Structure 1
Amino acid sequence: MRGLSRPVLRAGWCGRLWAPPRRALAASPPSPPAATSGALSPFDRRLKRKQKNWAALQAEPAKCDYLREEVGGRIADRVFDITRTFPLALDVGSGRGYIAQHLTKETVEKLVQVDVAENALKNAVETEIPTVKVVADEEFLPFKENTFDLVVSSLSLHWVNDLPKAFKEIHHVLKPDGVFIGAMFGGDTLYELRCSLQLAELEREGGFSPHVSPFTAVADLGHLLSRAGFNTLTVDTDEIQVNYPGLFEVMEDLQGMGESNCSWNRKPLLHRETMLAAAAIYREMYGNSDGSVPATFQIYYMIGWKYHESQAKPAQRGSATVSFGDLAKIEGLISRGKK
């Protein structure tokens, strides 16, 4: 568990990247493809674009970016762990460049930043790496096959309607022996807020509706990445806990992050009495001794490689020359020898 406190408040080389128009996305600043509500399309992508654009236009957009910058730094650390230079990289759902600001041009020589919100790209943090900014949807990447040496993504893919398709798109644009490194919110994210709102609605209104979007389970990630064609997979989880003055500050910062709920089945309005009750329940059930309240963000980190014949391969089944039973006997002999 990691802890954070709420803070006080060149394009010449990109022409060869584009794919033929096999994708559904237009080339001009687009809206995400229209979707209808339902189990296969839980999110209103047009609303999510509006939310992210609104957040990027605030007077101090960096005020609420502390979580994104923290996770972006951890993604960059995983990039640095791979001892190679990546000539061309792609940041899917880049926002204002939360990963790029932690990278160096010695590690990534050129970078393409993709986001559905054009205002986030316009207000991106400057970096020493030459970059190109592209407005596009994560589910419809408009690039040629085998283009990028590295693809990264931080806290964006939890809003896509078709996560398996998004993983396949990423795999498609990676070169053989290219690597995908990503992070997304996990199922226990904001459980304190979720429980407080549900209990308050049950008490005041006799029922409840979802106010926190659904998240992917960690057990599904490895399967989805494998189905998309990735191998040598690594999936791990972490939790970041941020302390806030109260429930209203939690929701204010979520809005400032562009993380307001955009589920089709969301409730459009919360009554004042319900909100006050939820704030009291939040403080009573989860409050810290100093009067603040915690908000937990569960993060899934994933690494997957695109197959290349030079990669190490697992040994054939049945080729082992030593059994686990023999290993146990060796440990016993070593223990007796020490005595």
Structure 2
Amino acid sequence: MRQMTTPRHFDTLLTGARRLRAFRQGPADFLLRSVAEDLADRLSLVQRSFRQVAEIATPSDALREVLEARGLPRPVACESLPALAASRRAPVVVAPVEALPFAAGSLDLIVSALGLQLVDDLPGLFAQVRRALKPDGLFLAALLGGDTLAELREAFAVAESEVDGGLSPRVAPFADVRDIGALLQRAGFALPVTDSDRLTVRYGDVFALMRDLRAMGATNPLLARRRVPLRRATLLRMAEVYHQRFSDPDGRIRATFQVVTLSGWAPHESQQKPLRPGSAKARLADALNALEQSTGEKPGG
């Protein structure tokens, strides 16, 4: 029987090297800290106590620091790079994020901030998370969505078409919010919820944006990227297009980051269940004080 393999989009070794470089130079973590605060706010609304907590794929200790400041137990971090694991202040296990080392039914809560967008096999990872959670355990995560850096993609597409005569993949294929919700259901999560928010960050020029992306360890991670150096003429044309199309009256440019937040629960008998079709005891028309009109005869009438 032929074994199906997951298509690989991301260069794991290159991503690791860029994360190390960003750590040593001092990361730009304003976006990560904003997302960490939002996840902590969402957890504060959950009327549950979490004892066994794990954090996966988050690029730094930012999420752990925010959660601890809110009174949650210190999470165990899953870090793929031994060199970065040594720098983490949380308890750490070294393992690839796509091979979680947690025992089945061992965790009350698994959280993640801005790391899952670089996972090739999200369905497989979600299944592992679901397996590691105790019944009624919670999975809460945020990752970058499909509208992220749309301006940069468009500017590069125009510049490369004009100067190089063809396109090279330069920005990761981020997930769509509806697809993520479907993947949560497929992995067996109960009460799955996804939503998204767009954050607009302004820069003096596109080169300042690219410096921040480098400091985030978030420059082009794609296996299919062009392996030759970016031509100066292409870069300058990209900057020109970006400023023409995405600058404000004061001359500063806009960069969009779409943050998709997802949550799902490991199934438990105490959770709310949807009603069976036809089991309602009152009519919607009565609740709305409206006149109900027939749209035609029912089948077989």
Instruction: Report the TM-score when normalising by structure 1.
Output: 0.80
State how 1:78-93 maps to structure 2 within 5 Å.
78-93=42-57
Distance 2:33 2:154 in 1: 27
Q: Which of 214, 222, 226 is the equivalent residue of 1:255?
A: 214
Q: Give the residue type in structure 2 aligned to 1:306.
A: A
Change (3 A) 1:236 1:295: same
Is 175-184 or 71-80 further displaced after alignment?
Answer: 71-80
**Map of 1:103 onto structure 2:** 67
CA contact (8 A) 1:139 1:166 kept: yes
1:292 alignment partner, one of 252, 265, 268:
252
Q: SS state of the match for residue 52, structure 2?
A: strand
Letter in 1 for 2:31: L
Equivalent residues in 2 for 1:279-318 (5 A)? 279-318=239-278
AA aligned opposite 1:47:
L
SS in 2 for 1:309: coil
Q: Secondary structure at the match of 2:199?
A: strand
Paired position in structure 2 for 1:180: 139
How far apart in 2 are the matches of 1:233 and 1:166? 16
Contact 2:67 2:74 in 1 (8 A): no
CA–CA separation in structure 1 for the residues paired with 2:151 and 2:82: 32
**Residue of structure 2 equivalent to 1:57:** 24
SS at match of 1:213: coil
Distance 1:116 1:140 in 2: 10
Letter aligned with residue 278 of structure 1: M
CA distance in 1, matches of 2:211, 2:156: 15
Q: Are the equivalent residues in 1 in contact too, given 2:194–2:261 (CA < 8 A)?
A: yes
Report the Cα distance in structure 2 between the residues aligned to 1:327 and 1:193, rounded to whole angstroms.
50
TM-score w.r.t. length of structure 2: 0.90
Against the structure 1 CA distance between its residues 142 and 40, is the aligned structure 2 distance closer, same or farther, given a 3 Å change threshold? Answer: same
Per the TM alignment, residue 121 of structure 1 is displaced from its structure 2 partner at its CA by 3.5
Contact 2:246 2:254 in 1 (8 A): yes
Rounded to whole Å, the distance in 2 between the matches of 1:119 and 1:251 is 25
Contact 1:139 1:165 in 2 (8 A): yes
Q: Which residue does 1:24 correspond to in 2? A: none
CA distance in 2 between counterparts of 1:185 and 1:221 reads 11
SS in 1 for 2:59: coil
Q: Distance in 1 between matches of 2:134 and 2:6?
A: 33
Secondary structure of 1:275's aligned partner: helix
Q: How many residues align?
A: 287
CA distance in 2, matches of 1:286, 1:106: 38
Partners of 1:197 and 1:247 lie apart in 2 by 11
Alignment partner of 1:207 out of 166, 178, 184: 166
Unaligned 5+ runs, structure 1: 1-37, 333-339
State the Cα deviation string for residues 277-305 of structure 1 (Å, max 9, x = none): 11111011101122211110011100100
Letter matched to residue 201 of structure 2: V
What whole-Å deviation, never above 9, does each CA across 1:256-313 have from its counterpart, x for those lacking one?
A: 1011121111123210111011111101110112221111001110010000112222
User: How much has 1:146 moved relative to structure 2?
Assistant: 0.7
Structure 2: 5+ residue runs without aligned partners? 292-301
SS in 2 for 1:87: coil
Contact 1:185–1:299, Cα closer than 8 Å, also in 2: yes
**Per-residue deviation, 1:108:** 2.2
Q: CA deviation at 1:317?
A: 2.3
Asked if the contact 1:177/1:307 (under 8 Å) is kept, the reply is yes
* Aligned partner of 2:13 among 46, 60, 63: 46
Using the TM superposition, give the Cα deviation of residue 143 of structure 1 relative to its aligned residue in structure 2, in angstroms. Answer: 1.3
- State the 1:106 CA deviation: 6.7
Q: Does 2:179 match 1:225?
A: no
